[in-house]
Amino acid sequence: MPTLAFSTDASAARPLFLVTKEGLADWLAAQDDATRNWVGAAGFKAGVGDVLPLPGKDGLSGAVGGLGSGKDRARGRFIAAGLRGKLPEGVWRFECDLEGDELAEAALGWLLAGYRFDRFVPDSKPMAMLLAPEGVDAAMLERIASGEALARDLINTPASHMGPDELEAAARDLACTHGMAIDVATGAALPKRNLPMIHAVGRASTREPRLIDMSWGDGGPSLALVGKGVCFDTGGLNIKPGASMQLMKKDMGGAANVLGLAHMLMDGGMNCRLRVLIPAVENSISGEAFRPGDILESRKGLTVEINNTDAEGRLVLADALALADEDRPDLIVSMATLTGAARVAVGPDLAPFYATDDNDAAALEAAATAVRDPVWRLPFWEPYEKMIEPGIADLDNAPKGGFAGSITAALFLRRFVTAASRYMHFDIFGWTRDSAPGRPKGGAGQGIRALYRALPEMLG
């Protein structure tokens, strides 16, 4: 059963009453005595995720589900999603007075609650299904859910099964589905094609580094998406301590997110020329590894002093960004699990982003609020430019002192974008630490639902 889609079987659908704490008294007043007594006797208080089946003449007539208090809803997203796993299987339809973005959020949350990473432990338990509520764009919500599921799957798959080769295969799958052109430069082809920093970062691994370059569409404004595809980040010779390395299978989260977003855009028939660039590498250790103190020459010609081999993401992105920039696109968006500093600044929920254009930032912020995909703008702070200038090369990949680590990384990337009209960069975490409704522990899309909503306006 496709758990990320709506049911179309209206005849079998039972009502699921969605009731807030504040609305419980009114809802009860509108019910018959038997229902009122049953709900009272069962002690149903409409708390978040509370579910009470309602008896009927032939068994089950429906159910009532709690949406909690205003405070609960302000603190959480996708509140209704928690009901799905607690309802008896079968088809349900919402009975509620939600509308617009709130109704869409409840319906999307339901779909996302159908996500499971069951590649290694198959899980085909049937799940409760939902009839698409009237007034939502069902096809759009299914498209968003499948883009999000793609991002989650790619991140959740461990580096043993998601190296540069497998990430390329996933990109080829997507290209095939949507009729994208795809070109991949691998291993020794990287320096030959003037992508030297992608090669330098990835050459220590037995799994060859590569640049995946995909394009789609032949008219409209031009958009380039660039995603960090570090399939595993040991830190390189500046090796990470064990605890910091534990989650580094997710260091291709930027790539996973741009692929998920690309799916949404193409499936929805977005009017644009889309290019997706993914430097896919493993930051490993061997005699071939790049070293602290090395100076690398980049595609753009800027030289970079390596002061920490663990600041590898900005290096592989720099060459990909320089390549994207050569087309002079209207907008370049990069997404990357780039710095620990971003997580320290805003925690795992918010996606920090940078924008060269205030209108883009405003459009994104409004969309993020509407679709509950929270983002927070940080500045390309000019006065910190000097922190990334070491003296014996044009750029320093790891400024000392650790001040403003996410900002200095963003400034580093921006040096490689000089011809595109506008640039946005997301320094994402890509991971849900504590399971929440519709958001199980594991890989997470961040910012892509907001971008999907905002891009027509930004490119319009």
- 348 in contact with ligand BES (CB under 6 A): no
Where in 417-436 is the site for ligand BES (CB under 6 A)? 429
Residue type, 230: V
Measured between alpha carbons, how far is 193 from 367 in angstroms, rounded to an integer?
38
Report in angstroms how near the CB of residue 398 gets to Mn ion at its nearest. Answer: 9
For 355-377, letters b (16+ CB in 10 Å) and e give bbeeebbebbbebbebbbbbbee
Nearer to ligand BES, 49 or 229 (CB): 229
Please name every residue paired with 186 in a beta bridge, in sequence order, or none if there are none. 210
Residue 247 tokens, joined: 């989650």
- 202 in contact with ligand BES (CB under 6 A): no
Residue 344 tokens, joined: 């320290």
Determine the residue with CB nearest ligand BES.
Answer: 340
Picked from Zn ion, Mn ion, ligand BES, none, the partner binding residue 138 (CB below 5 to 8 A depending on kind) is none
Nearer to Zn ion, 316 or 458 (CB): 316
Phi, psi of 331 (to 5 degrees): -150, 135
Report in angstroms how near the CB of residue 248 gets to ligand BES at its nearest. Answer: 6
Picked from Zn ion, Mn ion, ligand BES, none, the partner binding residue 224 (CB below 5 to 8 A depending on kind) is none
Report in angstroms how near the CB of residue 172 gets to Mn ion at its nearest. Answer: 26
Q: Which of 166, 233, 305, 319 forms a contact with Mn ion (CB under 5 A)?
A: 233
Determine the residue with CB nearest Mn ion.
Answer: 310
Name the residues that contact Zn ion, by CB under 5 A: 230, 233, 251, 313
Q: What SS3 class is residue 13? A: coil
What are the distances in angstroms from CA 429 to CA 162, 163, 336, 426? Answer: 18, 19, 8, 10
Measured between alpha carbons, how far is 431 from 349 in angstroms, rounded to an integer?
9
- 310 in contact with Mn ion (CB under 5 A): yes
Report in angstroms how near the CB of residue 44 gets to Zn ion at its nearest. Answer: 47
Of 14, 273, 314, 439, catalytic:
314
Picked from Zn ion, ligand BES, Mn ion, none, the partner binding residue 213 (CB below 5 to 8 A depending on kind) is none
Report in angstroms how near the CB of residue 230 gets to ligand BES at its nearest. Answer: 6
Report in angstroms how near the CB of residue 346 gets to Zn ion at its nearest. Answer: 18
Where in 286-345 is the site for ligand BES (CB under 6 A)? 308, 310-313, 337, 339-341, 343
Measured between alpha carbons, how far is 373 from 310 in angstroms, rounded to an integer?
29
Measured between alpha carbons, how far is 316 from 40 in angstroms, rounded to an integer?
60
Is beta strand 303-305 parallel, antiparallel or unpaired with respect to 395-396? Answer: parallel
Measured between alpha carbons, how far is 418 from 327 in angstroms, rounded to an integer?
11
The reply to whether 45 belongs to the active site is: no
Of 36, 240, 343, 422, catalytic:
240
The reply to whether 240 belongs to the active site is: yes
Measured between alpha carbons, how far is 104 from 142 in angstroms, rounded to an integer?
11
- 352 in contact with ligand BES (CB under 6 A): no
- 251 in contact with ligand BES (CB under 6 A): yes
Measured between alpha carbons, how far is 460 from 449 in angstroms, rounded to an integer?
18
SS (H, E, C) 391-431: CCCCEECCCCCCCCHHHHHHHHHHCCCCCCCEEEEEECCCE
Interface with ligand BES (CB under 6 A): 233, 251, 308, 310-313, 337, 339-341, 343, 398, 405, 429
Residues identified as active-site: 240, 314
